[in-house]
Amino acid sequence: MPDTEQSIGCDAEHDRRLYERVVKRTRQWEGRIFSVDTLDVELFDGSHGYREIVNHHGGAGVVAVMGGRVCLVRQYRVALGRMTLEIPAGKIDGDETGASCASRELSEETGLVAEELIPLGIAEGSPGFTNEHTEIFLAKGLSLKEEHPDEGEYINTVWVDLDEAIAAVRAGELRDAKTCLGLLLARELL
């Protein structure tokens, strides 16, 4: 193991050899939620590489805890072919901020309204091929109104003991990146 200490920063100045310069970007597909580009990149040694990138507007999620229990949503994820338990979350629309998206999704999916949203962190689920990121917030001052999911969105609200949810993350039973990160950061803060 080298005895030189490195900072945790991720900027390109730490090792210029790792940087990839985009030479050409070609839009291959444009959808409602994301688009796909192919990239020709020049590497440090002058050689070229090929990359496929999924572009996404990003999203926001909320860890909502009341009385030691966290509010999760159960839904079927066709891409995985199974049910998941996740924090309430959704994609950022237009010029919407992460906080306003988080507030909207919390209300739509669970009927909960927060007096305050505290930023916890940002999850980047698969940085090898997508720029998708999810801003994660902790909800404070919760009250219950009426849920109103998006059309075609079928979900169930589930309240789970926060410690049991953390144990489920550690056991690999909860695997959604934003949910795992959100629960762990919320537990640390609470």
**Has 151 been annotated as catalytic?**
yes
Residue 2 lies in a domain: no
- Same-domain status, 124 and 91: yes
First and final C-alpha spacing in the chain: 36
Structure confidence at residue 125 (pLDDT): 86
| Residues 43 and 127 placed together within one structural domain of the fold | no
State whether 24 and 99 are in the same domain.
no
> Considering 151, 153, 173, 188, which one is annotated as catalytic?
151
Distance separating alpha carbons of residues 102 and 54, to the nearest angstrom: 22
Threshold 0.95, pTM exceeds: no
> What is the structure's pLDDT at 15?
79
Q: What are phi and psi of 129, to 5 degrees?
A: -145, 0
Mean pLDDT split into 10-residue runs, the chain, 190 residues:
60 74 97 95 95 95 96 95 96 94 95 96 94 97 78 86 97 96 94
Question: Could you tell me if 125 and 173 lie in one domain?
Answer: yes
| pLDDT score of 128 | 93
pLDDT value at position 17?
83
The encoded tokens of residue 90 equal 């959704």
**How far is CA 116 from each of CA 62, 75, 98, 102, 141, rounded to the nearest angstrom?**
11, 26, 13, 11, 6
Q: Are residues 135 and 89 in the same domain?
A: yes
Residues of the domain holding 132: 59-189
